[in-house]
Copies of this chain bind each other. A is one copy, B any other.
Amino acid sequence: MAGEAMQRADERGDAGRAVLAGIRVVDLSTLLPGPYCTQILADLGAEVIKVERPDGGDPARSIDPALFAAINRGKRGVALDLRRAQDRDHLDALVRTADIVVEGFRPGVAERLGAGYERLRALRPGLIYCSISGYGQEGPDRDFAGHDVNYLGVAGALDPPPAPGQPPRHFITVPMADVAAALFAANAILAALLRRNQLRVVGVEDGSREDGGRKDGGAYLDVSLAGSALALMSGRLDNRRARALGGGGYGAYVAADGRALTVACIEDAFWRRLCVALGRPELADAPSWATYARRRVDAERIDALLATEFAQRPRADWLDLLRAADVPAAPVNSPAEVPDDPYVAASGLLIRTEDGGETVWAVRYPARMPGLVVPPGTPDTRRAPALGEHNATPLEEIARTPGEDTR
């Protein structure tokens, strides 16, 4: 219902009304963080030109085609070999019409390719240039290679670590450092656009610094995956063990039909309602389990008890019973089950697309805010470009006059 209403509202609008309509992004990044950042900007109406190397392009095309399709929706695809002068000229022409450049090379590589900040901002005053790197542009680890799990380990987010002799486990279904960096980068770019508006339109004096805050509203944004992962650990970096939520009435449990549900009884009121709903009201009165702090100390016993209780009935019964009793409870969906979940189906957030005949589900910008995000409906907002698909598109067709737009 909400999904239908959303779609109707969106169909009355058009992409031009999205907040970043008229903003052009040149995206040199690959894999997840940069492309997901620019997907968010695209969902807010920006025109994103994805620049890839001609030999295979973004490695995500082969490593994870479904992910690639989902986070490069509606972008233009241009294949350029930046080691060739002619292709560098093409990049320069694109940058002269751009508001934002995003790159995800290791520090120093963009400069070597002629795509560093200093060179490009000379081509396009007011350019907002966002570098997304593993450990930032400065600091002792800047040259190290890395992927998501490395940054999570540094940030203390892989806790507890695997026990000696145990097989390695990777705890995270979603690459959390990657998506955090993508979200912080999108956030930083929006903040820089706001500042550029203030300077250009209102004439606010900026605090010009040697490495940021240009008079023309341009900015250099240094986003790191390790720093973004670290930000998620704010308030969690201490000696108290087991800070991660889990256990004692907070976690996943298996019902009689083998299907799992989550229950999240942190607050004492929720715990008491759970005990009553389970038909065990006496547990709600046990002083040793009266607070969540105490229940976590005794989590193993509580969870064994809950496992026994939940094994008595099928999941659907429990969800009906617990939700009617206002206990925080929900199904554990496998990824393939998600599109059929009643909440998800009604949300209108899924976009069905295809990758070589296989269904790929992409997810739209998750906040409902008509007039700010791009409405669904056109193929361009759904399909990722083929490698070099827009190489032959005349620049003037994708270019707009520099300076025409003050956003």
Q: A149-B250, A183-B187, A194-B407 are in contact. List 4 more A-B contacts (CB 8 A).
A: A13-B207, A68-B235, A141-B342, A153-B330
B366-A231 in contact (CB<8A): yes
Q: A358-B238, A363-B231 are in contact. Are A153 and B331 (CB under 8 A)?
A: yes
Number of interface residues of A (CB under 8 A): 178
A117 within 8 A of B: no
A313 in the interface (beta carbon within 8 A)? no
Q: A300-B167, A349-B231 are in contact. Are A260 and B148 (CB under 8 A)?
A: no
Closest CB-CB distance, A153 to chain B, in whole Å? Answer: 4
Minimum Cβ distance to chain B for residue A200 (Å): 9
Q: Are A260 and B188 in contact (CB under 8 A)?
A: no
The closest CB in chain B to the CB of A171 belongs to B171
Q: Are B185 and A183 in contact (CB under 8 A)?
A: no
Query: Is A108 engaged at the interface, CB distance under 8 Å to the other chain?
Result: no
A120 part of interface (Cβ distance < 8 Å): no
User: Which of B164, B171, B191, B339 has a CB less than 8 Å from the CB of A369?
Assistant: B191
A406 at the interface (CB under 8 A from B): yes
**Within 8 Å CB of A212, what residues of B?**
9, 369-372
A227 proximity list for chain B (CB < 8 A): 347, 349, 366-367
B332 near A153: Cβ-Cβ < 8 Å: yes
Is the beta-carbon distance between B168 and A252 smaller than 8 angstroms?
A: yes
Chain B residue at minimal CB-CB distance from A167: B303
Choose from B66, B245, B406 the contact partner of A170 (Cβ within 8 Å).
B245
Q: List 6 A-B contacts (CB under 8 A).
A: A9-B210, A66-B236, A135-B343, A164-B311, A167-B307, A170-B247
Interface contact B231-A64, CB-CB below 8 Å: no
A336, closest chain B residue (CB): B239
A287 part of interface (Cβ distance < 8 Å):
no
Does A220 count as interface, using CB distance less than 8 angstroms? Answer: yes
Instruction: Compute how far the CA of A170 lies from the CA of B248 in the bound complex, rounded to whole angstroms.
Output: 11
A244 interface residue per 8 A CB criterion: yes
A270 within 8 A of B: yes
CA distance A102 to B136 in the complex (A): 31
Nearest residue (CB) in B for A144 is B323
From A81-89, A172-180, A278-286, A396-404, the one touching the partner chain is A172-180
Asked if A151 is an interface residue, CB under 8 A from chain B, the answer is yes
- A93 close to B (CB within 8 Å): no
Asked if A118 lies at the interface with its beta carbon under 8 angstroms from chain B, I say no
Q: Is A158 an interface residue (CB 8 A)?
A: yes
Q: Is A277 an interface residue (CB 8 A)?
A: no
A264 touches B148 (CB 8 A): yes
Contact A258 B164 (CB under 8 A): yes
Question: Are B367's CB and A185's CB within 8 A?
Answer: yes
Q: How far is the CA of A240 from the CA of B226 in the complex (A)?
A: 29
Chain B residues closer than 8 Å to A135, beta-carbon distance: 343
Contacts of A173 in B (CB 8 A): 156-159, 171, 236, 243-244
* A213 and B170 in contact, given A219-B369, A264-B150 (Cβ under 8 angstroms): no
The residue in chain B whose Cβ has the minimal distance to the Cβ of A186 is: B187
**Does A7 interact with chain B (Cβ within 8 Å)?**
no
Is A234 within 8 A of B71, CB to CB? yes
Give the distance in Å from the alpha carbon of A14 to the alpha carbon of B209 in the complex: 12
Contact B336 A153 (CB under 8 A): no
Closest residue of B by beta carbon distance from A39: B234
Q: With an 8 A cutoff between CB atoms, is A17 at the interface?
A: yes
Cβ-closest 4 pairs across A and B: A213-B371, A70-B235, A170-B246, A2-B138
A230 touches B347 (CB 8 A): yes
Per-residue CB proximity of A333-355 to B under 8 Å, as 1/0? 11111110111101101100000
Whether A28 is near chain B, meaning CB under 8 Å from some CB there, is no
A276 within 8 A of B: no
